[in-house]
C-alpha cells in the first residue's frame, strides 16, 4: 500500500451560498457566532447546502513507550494496559462522553506491552508486542515499523468511512506519550523544547525539570538535521499510536471527512500530517485549547483558533467528544431553522 495520499483543498465556491442560507434564518445576521462558521465550513467540506453528520467516530489508539521506563511520567507503564481494560469495561471518561453523545468509539491496540487476548471492543493492531524502544538511547522504532503503523492508521480511518462516518475525532492512550509529542512538536515547529515539554500526567517542578533534561538527551542522541523529514522524526521519537494517528488524519481528509482535533498528543500527530500534506488542515475543526504545555505552540504553528478552552488535558479524544454537540448544533441550525419567509417573520429594516 503506498504512503502517498491525495488530499484536495476544500473548494470554497459554495461558501457564498452557504452564508446566504445561514443569513436568511430567523435571527440577526451573525448572532449565532462561530456556530455559523462551523456550518459553512462543514457545508464546504461536504460540497452541499445541506450538510449532515453520519455515524460520527472517535478512534482511540493505544501504545506503550520504551522511554517511560526512565520515569518521564508519574504513572508506571502498566497504566496503559489498565486503562485499555477500563475502556473495555466502559468506565473511562472517553466511554462516558461517547455514550452521552452517540459517538462510535473504536479502541485500537497499536502496541501495548500486554497480551489482551481476543477481546470484544478491542482491535489488535500491535506493531510490536512491547511497544516502542527507548528513544533516549536508540530510535523508537524502525522505519519499517513506522510505515506499518502509518498505513494501519490510515486503514482504520478508511474502515470508519466505509461504515458511513463523515465526522471523526482521534484520541490516544500511552504512558509517556507527552514526551514523544513534545519532541515532535519542537522539531516540526522550532519552538524551544522547554515550551513544548509539559507536566503530562502531573509532574511536580523537579520532575518536570528532569523530564526536560531527558528530552534534551534524546535530541542530543539522535542529532537530527534541521531539515529532517516527518517520517524520520516519527521513527526516532514517535509512538505507534501517534504514527497511526498521522496516517488516520491523512486518510480521513483524503475521504472528505470533517476532522475534530483533540489535545497535545493528537495535535502533534496532526502537525506531522500537515507537514506531509498541508491540505489536511482544510478538514479540521479545532475543538479546544488544552492546558498541557506545548498545545499553544502547536495551535500557533497551525494557525488554529479553537472553539473552547475548558482547561482539559486528559487526551483520549475527550476534548473532541465534549465539543461535538456544538458541531451537531451547527448542522442542525443550517438545516432545521426556519427562514424569515417560511416563518412569516419580518426582516430587519436594514
Helix (H) or strand (E) holding 226: none
Among 172, 277, 316, 336, which one carries the catalytic annotation? 316
> By C-alpha distance, which of 195, 156, 151 is closest to 172?
156
What strand order describes the sheet that includes 167-173?
A: 122-124, 104-111, 57-63, 167-173, 258-260, 284-285
Assess whether 336 carries a catalytic annotation: no
**CB atoms inside a 10 Å sphere around CB 99:** 12
Q: How many CA atoms lie within 13 A of 34 on its CB side?
A: 10
Closest by CA to 131, choosing from 60, 61, 64, is 64
CB burial of residue 222 (10 Å; 0-12, 13-18, 19+) = buried
* 160 membership: H or E segment, kind and range: helix 143-162
Burial category of 162 from C-beta neighbours within 10 Å (exposed 0-12, middle 13-18, buried 19 and up): exposed
What span, in angstroms and rounded, lies between the C-alpha atoms of 236 and 230? 10
Strand partners, 308: 288
3-state secondary structure of 320: helix
Q: How many CA atoms lie within 13 A of 73 on its CB side?
A: 21
Burial profile 301-327: b = 16 or more Cβ within 10 angstroms, e = fewer:
bbebebbeebebbbbbbbbbbbbbeeb
User: Which residues form the catalytic set?
Assistant: 316
Amino acid at each position: 500500500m503506498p504512503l502517498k495520499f491525495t488530499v484536495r483543498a476544500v473548494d470554497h465556491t459554495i461558501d457564498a451560498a452557504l452564508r446566504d442560507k445561514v443569513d436568511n434564518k430567523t435571527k440577526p445576521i451573525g448572532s449565532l457566532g462561530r456556530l455559523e462558521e462551523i456550518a459553512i465550513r462543514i457545508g464546504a467540506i461536504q460540497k452541499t447546502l445541506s450538510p449532515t453528520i453520519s455515524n460520527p467516530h472517535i478512534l482511540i489508539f493505544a501504545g506503550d513507550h520504551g522511554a517511560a521506563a526512565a520515569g518521564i511520567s508519574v504513572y508506571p507503564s502498566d497504566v496503559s494496559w489498565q486503562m485499555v481494560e477500563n475502556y473495555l469495561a466502559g468506565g473511562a471518561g472517553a466511554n462516558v462522553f461517547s455514550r452521552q453523545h452517540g459517538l462510535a468509539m473504536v479502541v485500537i491496540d497499536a502496541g501495548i506491552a500486554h497480551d489482551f487476548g481476543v477481546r470484544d471492543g478491542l482491535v489488535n493492531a500491535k506493531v510490536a508486542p512491547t511497544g516502542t524502544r527507548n528513544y533516549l538511547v536508540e530510535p523508537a522504532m524502525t522505519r519499517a515499523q513506522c510505515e506499518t503503523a502509518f498505513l494501519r492508521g490510515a486503514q482504520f480511518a478508511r474502515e470508519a468511512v466505509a461504515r458511513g462516518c463523515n465526522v471523526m475525532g482521534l484520541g490516544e492512550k500511552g504512558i509517556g506519550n507527552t514526551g514523544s509529542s513534545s519532541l515532535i512538536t519542537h522539531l516540526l515547529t522550532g519552538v524551544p523544547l522547554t515550551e513544548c515539554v509539559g507536566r503530562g500526567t502531573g509532574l511536580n517542578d523537579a520532575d518536570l525539570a528532569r523530564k526536560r533534561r531527558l528530552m534534551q538527551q534524546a535530541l542530543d542522541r539522535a542529532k537530527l538535521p534541521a531539515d529532517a523529514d516527518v517520517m524520520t522524526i516519527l521513527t526516532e521519537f514517535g509512538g505507534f499510536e501517534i504514527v497511526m494517528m498521522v496516517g488516520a488524519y491523512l486518510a480521513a481528509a483524503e475521504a472528505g471527512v470533517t476532522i475534530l482535533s483533540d489535545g497535545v498528543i493528537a495535535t502533534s500527530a496532526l502537525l506531522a500530517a500537515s507537514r506531509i500534506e498541508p491540505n489536511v488542515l482544510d478538514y479540521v475543526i479545532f475543538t479546544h485549547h488544552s492546558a498541557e504545555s506545548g498545545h499553544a505552540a502547536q495551535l500557533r504553528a497551525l494557525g488554529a483558533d479553537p472553539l473552547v478552552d475548558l482547561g482539559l488535558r486528559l487526551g483520549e479524544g475527550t476534548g473532541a467528544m465534549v465539543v461535538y454537540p456544538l458541531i451537531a448544533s451547527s448542522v442542525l441550525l443550517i438545516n432545521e431553522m426556519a427562514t424569515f419567509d417560511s416563518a412569516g417573520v419580518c426582516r430587519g429594516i436594514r
